[in-house]
Amino acid sequence: MTTFHGLTTFDHRTPAAQVMQHREVVRLSADTFRVLGRQGTPYRVSIRRDDVRCTCPAGRFRRHCWHLDRVAQHLESLARRSPAVREVFANGLAWVRFRVLGKIEDDGRIELVGKVCCSYCGFGPLTVSAPVGEWIEGFCPNCRGEHRYQPSVGGL
């Protein structure tokens, strides 16, 4: 293992356990992540509306790879943090639970308000509001990515 200007590189003699410690996931943009391979090669994982792919050899042939699993683990760990915005990609949509920053009252109805960025293109921040426990439909004005928003529990 060699460290040069903050980058860690590996060769064939590096123990697997040591490589695993350095396999961090770095978010490059709203839909692209960098994951280091077992020999330290950086691969990009892209999550888009109808497409999930990795630049590793398996991913280039549209096969499932562990880099996709690593990004999923990373997103799950972010979702476990209480103030985090929680994103789930399912059925061609981004389901987002947002952190509550305030509330709006209108005719006895309360909506909770928060800020999010588009899960597809990163555009934002966007102000969203939704009643407690309800999913509200929304579209990114930049890329027209379809989202569903819900306030995270325990906001206000």
Same domain, 39 and 75: yes
Same domain, 12 and 57: yes
Total structural domains within the chain: 2
Give pLDDT, residue 3.
47
Domain housing 31: 2-80
Nearby residues of 125 by Cβ (< 8 Å), 6 or more positions away:
115, 116, 117
Same domain, 135 and 65: no
Give pLDDT, residue 6.
47
Residue that is last in its domain, among 21, 54, 80: 80
Same domain, 74 and 17: yes
Same domain, 21 and 38: yes
Same domain, 7 and 38: yes
b/e per residue 123-136 (b: at least 16 CB within 10 A) = ebebebbbeeeeee
b/e per residue 11-50 (b: at least 16 CB within 10 A) = eeebeeeebeeeeebeeeebbebbbbbeebeebbbbbbbe
Give pLDDT, residue 10.
57
pLDDT by residue (tens digit) across 62-110?
Answer: 888 888 888 888 777 665 554 546 667 666 677 888 888 888 888 888 8
Same domain, 63 and 107: no
Instruction: Determine, yes or no, domain membership for 156.
Output: no
22 against 82, higher pLDDT: 22
Task: Specify the pTM.
Answer: 0.46
pLDDT by residue (tens digit) across 102-141?
Answer: 888 888 888 999 888 887 777 778 889 998 888 999 988 8
Residue that is last in its domain, among 62, 80, 98: 80
Residue that is last in its domain, among 40, 59, 80: 80
Same domain, 98 and 132: yes
Same domain, 94 and 139: yes
Confidence of residue 4 (pLDDT cuts 50, 70, 90): very low
Instruction: Determine, yes or no, domain membership for 99.
Output: yes
4-8, 50-54, 59-63: lowest mean pLDDT where? 4-8
Instruction: Determine, yes or no, domain membership for 51.
Output: yes
Give pLDDT, residue 54.
93
Same domain, 53 and 116: no
Same domain, 71 and 92: no
Q: ∠ CA(23), CA(19), CA(61), 5° rounding?
A: 60
Give pLDDT, residue 44.
93
Same domain, 76 and 134: no
